[in-house]
Amino acid sequence: MATVSAFTERNLNGQGFSYLDLDAKSRYALPLRFTPALCVVLIAIGLALQSPVWLAALVPIGLSGALFPRGMATDVVYNFGVRHLFGAPSLPPTPKPRRFSYILSTTLGVGAALAFQFGLPVLGFVLGGFVLVGATILTTTLWCLGSWIYRMTFSRRLVVRQSGRRVAADGRGIVR
């Protein structure tokens, strides 16, 4: 049985994957990086080209993640194609905190596309850069800024299971 670090477990819990046991979290820790890694590449291309068309073409992908827990375009590509190349598990449904992060990323992506379209490249780089940095952090650490904002905004003190203990999702200790 593979394990995940407490850091990774906490980050996955923060995205809403607290319902998964440790074994499942260890199986999904790498596959859950596929979507944000692909996002990094696609956003970087759009920013390098300063292309409003390229960035606007990414909007439906992000929106699909926000609207459909099992139907984000990149997750479908992974589940029906990429995972079979590596014998990896299919991705679990996307929880609300992570879907909220897709709403934020999509909104910033729309802003970046519009900024480049209307001749405001600095604003386009700033807005697109936020998405790029957020997706890079998510890819490398599984810590999700959008999920954190979701929890701080919409959640009361959520209780999750971490290493068999009931722990507050905000990391404030053991809950009895």
Q: How many CA atoms lie within 13 A of 27 on its CB side?
A: 13
**Residue written as token pair 């992000």:** 62
Contacts of 83-88 with C-beta under 8 Å, sequence gap 24+, read: 83/31, 88/27, 88/30, 88/31
- The pLDDT assigned to 31 comes to 95
Whole-number pLDDT of residue 162? 54
pLDDT at 175: 44
Which residue type occupies 145?
L
Task: List per-block mean pLDDT (blocks of 10 residues) for the chain, which spans 176 residues.
Answer: 87 95 94 96 98 98 94 94 94 95 98 99 99 98 96 72 55 48
Domain boundaries, the chain: 6-168
